[in-house]
């Protein structure tokens, strides 16, 4: 069995990967679900210089009976191409596709080269699909599995996440953990401490109780936050060779009881790691003691969706917080030594004045790392359907990385990208790592500085991913 994570094509994502490349955790979960009954290899094409060649070589050398492809929406075309390549090279090999794009737009992946499309959490359905393949039985009739040409498996329903207690511990023996690194955000880094350490990815829970209108998570989790058993998470973290842990939860602290119990259990086991988590500013303000507790056991940084700089905009997307709350949470976290990554959203309708307003706002913030996406409804949601008539590109899935505007920009696209790139550069420059003025490992610093430049440049040239006639087009 060959499990594959494709390489992205879009410049901003390739740019991001230069300072943040996390483990293919989804593939580790799927492999673990098979319970050692099959020989499994992982091909993470993000690590390959020539991903197409690496994939063909893996097919030729390993000759898998099943190929499992994972993919986000912006990887849709690549995923379909990998399925086609498999079919051409190994006609009897079965191709199973899963991942986020399969969940939100299964019909897009249900091509002639694909045998099954798995929606939602994949462990149980993948195990059942593989069992059926091994037994030579048809793949129809498995919950959350779409068989091209048979049914679309949707029935109007979003797949429900299973009981997290049923999830296996992901198999990390299938890759070299040292290959996965992230810029490590800290408010007061120790002199010479690595800023690009190897990082493990751990999911402690799934979902979120909030219903921000731009977010896919409420559709995926039905408004529920589902924590894994505390002991299982703590045991997994304790077993990691990496010292740094990036949590891939949607919101790590929204269930205070769970988060406090996990902190206690990690401490009881004597686990000494550094952590990075995602949190809402409202959670920080509601539970400052919890954040202090996590700081004590190793929380270095958090990602907060600031989203907008005006309350009116926050209200429109039902964020459930205000600009003042974001700022108070930032102060509180910095006060306890936790660094903040603030994520903002742009709208395609933004004018020069809106960009200027955002630039001024950022300039006045204390040290905080910032990033920017374009507010883009997810495929499969009513908002996406409503947006469809205005989509201005022939291949919207390929540009669905929440960075490429999918509807016409008010400013000429090239100008939008220029101003976007300026914000990205400003956001990177505000990082607490720089503000702390501590000596940092010179080679890593050079690598991160070069990567930051290339990252901003990728935004500046993003308009080239659009048909040429749109480069200077606008809605105005
Ligand atoms: C953590 C996270 C990240 C992390 C780590 C991602 C990584 N793996 O490298 C970081 C911060 C780096 C990141 C970056 C990005 N992310 Co992100 N991320 C998430 C988040 C919160 C969790 C994903 C995760 O790791 N889950 C843990 C693993 C174990 O679960 P999983 O990936 O869902 O896999 C399960 C199933 O999908 C299924 N499955 C997966 N693959 C396969 C394959 C087969 C064969 C089968 C059968 C099943 C199967 O089974 C798996 C096991 O449970 C999700 C939101 C969410 N709740 O899903 C967004 C999300 C996936 N990200 C998203 C996006 C857009 C991005 C970025 C493009 C954002 C950006 N603008 O920079 C980049 C792209 C990175 C890349 N290289 O492609 C979108 C994807 C939207 C879409 N329609 O594709 C999501 C859904 C959030 C959103 N905004 O809507 N992300
Ligand atoms: S708080 Fe975050 S994860 Fe929860 S619905 Fe809002 S944006 Fe999505």
Q: Which atom of ligand 1 is nearest to the CA of 68?
A: 45
Are residue 239 and residue 294 in the same domain, yes or no? yes
| Partners of 93 in the β-ladder | none
| Separation of CA 322 and ligand 2 centre (Å) | 14
Are residue 136 and residue 182 in the same domain, yes or no? no
Residue span of the structural domain in which 142 resides: 2-146
Question: Do 451 and 181 meet the contact criterion of CB atoms below 8 Å apart?
Answer: no
| Partners of 247 in the β-ladder | 202
| pLDDT at res. 476 | 84
Are residue 292 and residue 421 in the same domain, yes or no? yes
pTM listed for this prediction: 0.97
| Separation of CA 371 and ligand 1 centre (Å) | 17
| Separation of CA 69 and ligand 1 centre (Å) | 13
Q: Which atom of ligand 1 is nearest to the CA of 303?
A: 11
Are residue 142 and residue 185 in the same domain, yes or no? no
Are residue 287 and residue 139 in the same domain, yes or no? no
Are residue 67 and residue 186 in the same domain, yes or no? no
Establish whether residue 402 lines the binding site of ligand 2, counting it when its CB lies within 6 angstroms of any ligand atom: no
Are residue 130 and residue 181 in the same domain, yes or no? no
Summarize pLDDT for 373-416 with one digit per residue, the tens. 999 999 999 999 999 999 999 999 999 999 999 999 999 999 99
Are residue 72 and residue 204 in the same domain, yes or no? no
Q: Which atom of ligand 1 is nearest to the CA of 104?
A: 83
Degrees, nearest 5: CA angle 235-238-241? 135
Token couple for 426: 């400003």
Phi-psi group of 270: left, alpha or beta (phi > 0 → left; psi -120 to 50 → alpha; rest → beta): left
Are residue 354 and residue 227 in the same domain, yes or no? yes
| Separation of CA 133 and ligand 1 centre (Å) | 27
| pLDDT at res. 388 | 96
| pLDDT at res. 35 | 87
Domain count, the chain: 2
| Separation of CA 414 and ligand 1 centre (Å) | 28
376 found inside a domain: yes
CATH of the domain at 113: 3.40.50.2300
Are residue 106 and residue 180 in the same domain, yes or no? no
394 found inside a domain: yes
Nearest to 343 by CA among 400, 301, 304, 285: 304
Degrees, nearest 5: CA angle 335-291-250? 120
Question: Who lines ligand 1 at CB under 6 A?
Answer: 8, 13, 16-17, 20, 22, 25-26, 29-30, 68-70, 72-73, 96-101, 104, 118, 121-123, 126, 203, 216-217, 220, 248, 250, 373, 378-379, 400-403
Q: Which residues of 227-261 are buried (b: 16+ CB within 10 A; e: fewer)?
A: bbbbeebbebbeebebebbbbbbbbbbbbeebbbb
Residue with tokens 């949470």: 329
Establish whether residue 208 lines the binding site of ligand 2, counting it when its CB lies within 6 angstroms of any ligand atom: yes
Establish whether residue 218 lines the binding site of ligand 2, counting it when its CB lies within 6 angstroms of any ligand atom: yes
| Separation of CA 474 and ligand 1 centre (Å) | 31
pLDDT in tens, the chain (476 residues): 999 999 999 999 999 999 999 999 999 999 999 988 899 999 999 999 999 999 999 999 999 999 999 999 999 999 999 999 999 999 999 999 999 999 999 999 999 999 999 999 999 999 999 999 999 999 999 999 999 988 655 556 899 999 999 999 999 999 999 999 999 999 999 999 999 999 999 999 999 999 999 999 999 999 999 999 999 999 999 999 999 999 999 999 999 999 999 999 999 999 999 999 999 999 999 999 999 999 999 999 999 999 999 999 999 999 999 999 999 999 999 999 999 999 999 999 999 999 999 999 999 999 999 999 999 999 999 999 999 999 999 999 999 999 999 999 999 999 999 999 999 999 999 999 888 888 999 999 999 999 999 999 999 999 999 999 999 999 98
Closest ligand to Cα 280: 2
| pLDDT at res. 436 | 81
Nearest CA owner, ligand 2 atom 1: 210
90 found inside a domain: yes
130 found inside a domain: yes
156 found inside a domain: no
**Spatial distance between the Cα atoms of 242 and 377, rounded to a whole number of angstroms:** 35
Establish whether residue 251 lines the binding site of ligand 2, counting it when its CB lies within 6 angstroms of any ligand atom: yes
Are residue 132 and residue 184 in the same domain, yes or no? no
Q: Which atom of ligand 1 is nearest to the CA of 250?
A: 21
Token couple for 166: 């049923």
401 found inside a domain: yes
| pLDDT at res. 152 | 56
**Length reported for the chain:** 476
State the number of CA atoms in the 13 A half-sphere of 387 facing the CB.
20
Are residue 131 and residue 234 in the same domain, yes or no? no
Establish whether residue 375 lines the binding site of ligand 2, counting it when its CB lies within 6 angstroms of any ligand atom: no
| Separation of CA 317 and ligand 1 centre (Å) | 22
227 found inside a domain: yes
Q: Residue 50: how many CB atoms within 10 A of its CB? A: 11
79 found inside a domain: yes
Fill in the DSSP letter of residue 471. Answer: T
CATH of the domain at 430: 3.80.30.20
Nearest CA owner, ligand 1 atom 4: 248
Q: Which atom of ligand 1 is nearest to the CA of 74?
A: 84
């Amino acid at each position: 069995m060959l499990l594959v994570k494709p390489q992205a094509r879009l410049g901003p994502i390739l740019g991001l990967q230069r300072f943040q490349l996390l483990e293919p955790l989804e593939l580790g979960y799927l492999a673990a679900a098979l319970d050692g009954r099959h020989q499994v290899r992982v091909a993470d094409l993000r690590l390959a210089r020539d991903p197409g060649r690496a994939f063909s070589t893996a097919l030729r050398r390993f000759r898998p009976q099943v190929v499992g492809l994972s993919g986000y929406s912006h990887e849709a075309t690549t995923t379909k191409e990998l399925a086609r390549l498999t079919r051409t090279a190994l006609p009897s090999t079965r191709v199973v596709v899963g991942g986020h794009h399969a969940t939100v737009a299964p019909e897009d992946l249900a091509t002639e080269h694909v045998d099954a499309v798995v929606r939602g959490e994949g462990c149980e359905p993948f195990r059942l699909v593989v069992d059926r393949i091994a037994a030579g039985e048809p793949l129809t009739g498995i919950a959350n599995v779409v068989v091209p040409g048979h049914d679309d498996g949707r029935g109007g329903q979003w797949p429900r996440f299973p009981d997290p207690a049923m999830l296996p511990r992901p198999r990390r023996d299938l890759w070299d953990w040292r290959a996965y690194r992230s810029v490590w955000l800290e408010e007061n880094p120790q002199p010479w401490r690595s800023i690009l350490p190897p990082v493990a990815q751990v999911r402690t829970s799934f979902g979120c109780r909030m219903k921000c209108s731009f977010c896919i998570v409420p559709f995926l989790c039905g408004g529920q936050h589902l924590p894994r058993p505390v002991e299982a998470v703590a045991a997994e973290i304790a077993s990691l060779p990496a010292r740094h842990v990036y949590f891939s939860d949607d919101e790590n602290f929204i269930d205070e009881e769970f988060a406090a119990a996990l902190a206690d259990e990690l401490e009881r086991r004597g686990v000494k790691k550094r952590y990075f988590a995602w949190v809402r500013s409202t959670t920080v303000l509601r539970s400052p003691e919890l954040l202090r507790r996590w700081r004590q056991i190793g929380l270095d940084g958090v990602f907060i969706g600031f989203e907008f700089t005006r309350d009116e905009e926050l209200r429109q997307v039902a964020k459930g917080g205000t600009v003042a709350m974001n700022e108070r949470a930032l102060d509180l976290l910095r006060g306890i030594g936790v660094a903040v990554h603030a994520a903002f959203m742009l709208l395609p309708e933004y004018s020069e004045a809106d960009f200027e307003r955002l630039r001024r706002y950022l300039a006045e913030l204390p040290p905080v790392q910032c990033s920017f996406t374009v507010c883009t409804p997810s495929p499969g949601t009513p908002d996406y359907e409503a947006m469809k008539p205005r989509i201005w590109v022939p291949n919207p899935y390929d540009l669905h990385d929440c960075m490429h505007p999918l509807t016409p920009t008010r400013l000429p696209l090239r100008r939008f990208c220029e101003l976007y790139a300026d914000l990205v550069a400003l956001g990177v420059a505000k990082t607490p790592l720089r503000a702390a003025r501590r000596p940092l490992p010179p080679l890593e610093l050079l690598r991160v500085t070069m990567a930051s430049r290339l990252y901003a440049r990728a935004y500046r040239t993003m308009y080239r991913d659009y048909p040429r006639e749109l480069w200077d087009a606008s809605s105005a």
